[in-house]
C-alpha cells in the first residue's frame, strides 16, 4: 500500500534511500536540487536571514534509522553518517551531473545499510 506521493507505507532505510534518490536525482528535479544547495549556501553565510533552514535534521534521521532496524538504539553518529552520505552524493550529482556514477554509489550505500541489519 502506498501513501500520497508514492512513498510505500512500510519501508526500510535502504528502501527509503533508494526511493528518495530516484526522485531527487531525476533530471526533472535538477532545478530543485540546485536550489537546495543554493539556499544552504546562503543560509550558511547569513543564518539570520534564513531561519529554520539549517535546523538539525539528525533527529529525523535517528528516527528513520531506528524504524529501519539498522540500529536498535540509533545514535547521532549513525544518523549523521546517513545524512552526510546522502548530502554528499547529491552535491556530487549537482556539481558533476554524473547521475549514473552517483546512482551506483547510492546503491552501494543502500547495500551497506541493508548488510548491517
What residue spans define the domains of the chain? 13-115
2: helix, strand or coil: strand
With a cut of 70, say whether residue 115 has pLDDT above it. yes
**What does the CA dihedral 99, 44, 13, 91 come to, rounded to 10 degrees?**
10
Mean pLDDT of 24-47: 94
As a whole number of angstroms, the distance between CA 15 and CA 45 comes to 34
- Which has more pLDDT, 65 or 70? 65
pTM for the complete prediction? 0.77
Of the candidates 53, 55, 54, 85, the residue with the CA atom closest to the CA atom of residue 70: 85
Q: Which three cell numbers stand for residue 6?
A: 508514492
What CA–CA distance (Å, rounded) separates 97 from 64?
28
What lies within 8 Å, CB to CB, of 69 at 6+ separation is 12, 13, 117
pLDDT > 70 fraction of the chain, expressed in percent and rounded:
82
Name the one residue in this structure whose C-alpha cell is 549514473: 100
- Cα 103 to Cα 76, 82, 83, distances in angstroms: 25, 15, 16
Amino acid at each position: 500500500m502506498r501513501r500520497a506521493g508514492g512513498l510505500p507505507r512500510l519501508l526500510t532505510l535502504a528502501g527509503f534511500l533508494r526511493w528518495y534518490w530516484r526522485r531527487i536525482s531525476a533530471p526533472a528535479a535538477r532545478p530543485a536540487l540546485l536550489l537546495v544547495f543554493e539556499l544552504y549556501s546562503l543560509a550558511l553565510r547569513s543564518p539570520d536571514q534564513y531561519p529554520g533552514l539549517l535546523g538539525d535534521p539528525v533527529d529525523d534521521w535517528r528516527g528513520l534509522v531506528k524504524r529501519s532496524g539498522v540500529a536498535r538504539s540509533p545514535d547521532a553518529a549513525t544518523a549523521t553518517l546517513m545524512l552526510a552520505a546522502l548530502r554528499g552524493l547529491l552535491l556530487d550529482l549537482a556539481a558533476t551531473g554524473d547521475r549514473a556514477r552517483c546512482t551506483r554509489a547510492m546503491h552501494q550505500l543502500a547495500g551497506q545499510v541493508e548488510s548491517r541489519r
